[in-house]
Amino acid sequence: MKVTDCHAHLADARIWDARASWLADCRHHGLVGALANAAQFDEWPRMMQLSQEAPEILPALGIHPFWPEQWTAEAKATLERHLKANELAAIGEIGLDFWNGRGNQALQERAFAEQLQLAVQYGLPACIHNRKSWQEFFGILNELKISELRGYCHNYTGSRETARQILDKGLHISFCSPVTYPEAERLRRVSAFVPAERLLVETDAPDLPQMPYRGTFSYPWQTIGVVETLAAARGIAPEALAEQIVVNFQGLFKKWDGRDGRDGGDYFTHQAMSPSSPSSPLSL
């Protein structure tokens, strides 16, 4: 089974030095592509290095809402330089997080809005983080007059009603390890509501390991377990859903040029899909 991971922090210092080992494991287990998100500014050089070392790793740069003070003039100039060079597959991880209060809400909202505008300007998907902030998120989209947005909401754990609002904005929805937890029956029902062609999977590596791996780091190939869980919630074969998610992944991140000049769509078509594969193998 071929799988992808749309959200992994692969420049994280905790796993950086072991990358040769976990990249080999990923390839062994059938991972054909991962979008690697940056969270902090000092991760950006490692992210670009990794995308050169491993062509199946697609780079996304952004400032996470945990560190909005890092969205500086230097960060913006650096991001725009990479954007103008067409070196990125997406912008992220960006968003809003009010889990621990709203003391820096204005700072978060400015950083998010400015990065979001760059994603729209350059036609790239946005990798969205939202926690206790959906009202503000939709409010910013409305303020910026963004009626439709390319990208995805990562590690979705919200309601069916919020999922509908997300889908109405044109976004994909990504599910992570929490959907596999025994107590997550409500979330599995929500996952079955999302149309298969708008579905993505992730690990949020190196965090949020699935139950069999609790106490260790997570790695991109472990989306296998997420795919199996989502497929069971729909009553379909995991292989069929995995194939659709590969199509979703390559479609969303097709703008990426890659280190050898091929775009992301070509790379993933050749690596993950046979020439006879339909463009949308599953319609649910």
Query: What are the per-10-residue average pLDDT scores of the chain (284 residues)?
Result: 97 97 97 96 97 95 98 98 96 96 96 98 97 97 97 98 98 97 97 98 97 92 98 98 97 64 41 36 36
92, 171 in Cβ contact below 8 A?
A: no
Contact 155, 208 (CB under 8 A): yes
- Stated pTM of the model: 0.91
Q: Check if the beta carbon of residue 242 is closer than 8 Å to that of residue 2.
A: yes
Looking at residue 136, its pLDDT comes to 98
Q: Is residue 277 assigned to a domain? A: no
Is residue 230 one of the residues assigned to a domain?
yes
| Model pLDDT, residue 242 | 98
Q: Can you give the residue range of the structural domain that contains 188?
A: 3-272
**283 located within any domain:** no
Q: Residue 255's pLDDT is what?
A: 53
The CA distance from 78 to 121, in Å, is 16
Q: What are phi and psi of 283, to 5 degrees?
A: -130, 110
- H runs (alpha helix) in the chain: 13-16, 19-28, 44-53, 73-84, 105-122, 134-143, 160-168, 185-193, 223-234, 238-252, 264-272
Residue 147 covered by a domain? yes
pLDDT of 212 reads 87
CB 104 within 8 A of CB 127: no
In a domain, 278, yes or no: no
Domain assignment present for residue 8? The answer is yes
Distance CA 18, CA 13 (A): 10
Total structural domains in the chain?
1
CATH code for the domain in which residue 167 is found:
3.20.20.140
Pair 1, 30: CB distance under 8 Å: yes
Residue 279: per-residue pLDDT: 37
pLDDT of residue 266: 38
- Residues 222 and 209: beta-carbon distance below 8 Å: yes
Domain membership of residue 150 (yes or no) is yes
Q: Is residue 250 part of a domain?
A: yes
